Structure formats: structure tokens, C-alpha cells
Amino acid sequence: MNKWSELLLGLILIVVPIVIAWYSWTQDWVLWSVSFNFWTPAWNFLKGGIFWMVVMIGALFILLGISDLKG
């Protein structure tokens, strides 16, 4: 692929899910009594990722501190 098609594909893959999630959150997308709200699960996944990133950074600092104590 050339650089312009890669940029266009990347832009589409970023914008389209955000638009779909936004409209599924602001409007009531229910089919056969199942809600298709993509915004809330995506937000929960992002919050979980931030939580685990902070925990891993804390573990990294503990390991670096233990390594400095040994040396």
C-alpha cells in the first residue's frame, strides 16, 4: 500500500468506531431486547487499561528499587 491509502485506512479505522460508539450511546440501539451500546464497554475497557498501566508502573518502580538495594 502506498502512504496515502494507509493514512486513509487508518483515519477510517479511527473515526468510524468512534462515530458508531457515539451514536449507539446517544440513541437507544436495542434489537430483540439486547442493547447495542458500544460506548460504555469501551470506556470501561479504557479505565481498566489505565488501572493496570498504573499498577505495572508501580511494580516496575518496586523492582527497580529492589535492584538498586542489591547493588
Asked if 40 contacts 28 with a C-beta cutoff of 8 angstroms, the reply is: no
pLDDT at residue 31, as a whole number: 67
pLDDT in tens, 2-50: 878 888 888 888 888 888 888 877 777 766 776 777 788 888 999 999 9
What rounded mean pLDDT belongs to the chain?
83
Pick from 64, 19, 24, 29: which is nearest to 40 by CA? Answer: 24
pLDDT at residue 63, as a whole number: 85
CA-only gyration radius of the chain, Å? 20
pLDDT in tens, 52-65: 999 999 989 888 88
The structural domains of the chain, with segments of one domain joined by +, span 3-70
Cα separations in angstroms, 25 against 1, 48, 50, 70: 34, 19, 22, 52
